[in-house]
Structures are given as C-alpha cells and as structure tokens.
Amino acid sequence: MTDAAEDVRPLLRVRQVREFTDAPVDPAALDAVADAARWSGSSRNSQPWRFIVIREPATLRALAEAGLPQTRSLATARAAIAIALPTEPGRRVVHGYDEGRAAERMLIAASLLDLAAGIAWIRSEVRPAVAGLLGLPQDRFVRTVVAIGHPTDAARKPKSAPGEARLPREETVFSERWPG
C-alpha cells in the first residue's frame, strides 16, 4: 500500500457498530466527540445543529424502544449524541447535508478514540416520541442519534468477506469522464 493510502487507513476503519459492551465511556472522550462534531463545516457556517449528549441509561433504552429496528444500537450503547436540527422547511436538504457531515465526524472521532459508534435514524413517525424524551422545543427535531460505546467482539468482526464491504474501485471511481 502507498503511504497516502496508509495515511487515510484510519478513515477506512470507521464502521457502523450496533452492539456495545458494558464498559463505560470516558466523559472526556464523549466531550471530544461532541467537539469534533461542532467543529464540522456547514452551509454558510450556519451551524444549524445542537448536540444533546445522552448518558442516562433509561433515556438510551427508551430511545431504542421508540424507534426499532433502526435504533437497536441504543439498546446497548453506553452513550449517544443526538443531532437537533431546526424544523425550517425550506432548509431541509441543506440541513441534512450538514447533519451528515457532523454525524460522520462523530463516527470518525469515536474510532480514533478506540470507541465505536453507529448512526440510528429516527423515522419521521418516531420523531414526536424522541422530541418528548429529549425535551425538544417546537422548532427542533432529531433525525440522527449517534450511538457510542465500546464494541463487543462480535461487533468488531468484519461483516463481509475481505474486499466485499464496498463496491470495487473500478465501479465507483472514474477518471475524467463517466465511463463508456
């Protein structure tokens, strides 16, 4: 592997984890993940997000129950960070873009800290229950909760055969023009 490819390998190791051990998450690590998120870039630097750091087991489990199956990772997560966005209808796409940037940063930060994380998507019909659990004001909603913890051995195992986790390079990366 070239040096450049080796340098970006920590990013390639970032994976979605949905099952966590009982080991607690260091509060300083959780703060570092939240800081990585709030330093994400956003459209016109509007920073539309607010991040709710959740450590209370009862809240984590209630979130898991509310949004199954997408929220199953929260059944074992020791912590989570919810992204609260404004409900402004005209800004939906741009806020979603910014939200994705922050969510991925949290997954990367967790991985760099030897933690693991996963995205739990809150379906629209589940959002009122989540708003109630998190005490959101009327003008905010949560679509993404990032589950955080230490991965179980099973969760650490590769989910696919070597080389099969992603489409092959030649099918996804093109030079100069669409091929054909």
Among 70, 75, 87, 152, the residue binding ligand FMN under the rule CB under 6 A is 70
From residue 150, how far is each of 27, 79, 83, 89, 153 by CA, in Å?
Answer: 13, 10, 21, 37, 9
The type of residue at 30 is L
Under the binding rule (CB under 6 A), the answer on residue 73 touching ligand FMN is yes
Under the binding rule (CB under 6 A), the answer on residue 143 touching ligand FMN is no
Contacts of 124 (CB under 8 A, 6+ apart): none
Under the binding rule (CB under 6 A), the answer on residue 76 touching ligand FMN is no
Q: In b/e form, how buried is each residue of 124-159, taking b as 16+ CB within 10 angstroms?
A: eebbeebbebbebeeebbbbbbbbbbbbbeebeeee
Find the part of the chain contacting ligand FMN (CB under 6 A) among 11-19, 29-37, 132-140, 149-157: 11-19
Under the binding rule (CB under 6 A), the answer on residue 42 touching ligand FMN is no
Q: Is the CB of 97 or the CB of 121 nearer to ligand FMN? A: 121
Find the part of the chain contacting ligand FMN (CB under 6 A) among 3-11, 77-85, 119-127, 132-140: 119-127
Q: Alpha helices, DSSP H only, in 3-152?
A: 3-7, 9-12, 27-38, 57-66, 92-112, 127-134
Find the part of the chain contacting ligand FMN (CB under 6 A) among 24-32, 58-66, 76-84, 114-122: 114-122
Under the binding rule (CB under 6 A), the answer on residue 120 touching ligand FMN is yes
Which residues of the chain form contacts with ligand FMN (CB under 6 A)? 15-16, 18, 70, 73, 118-121, 165
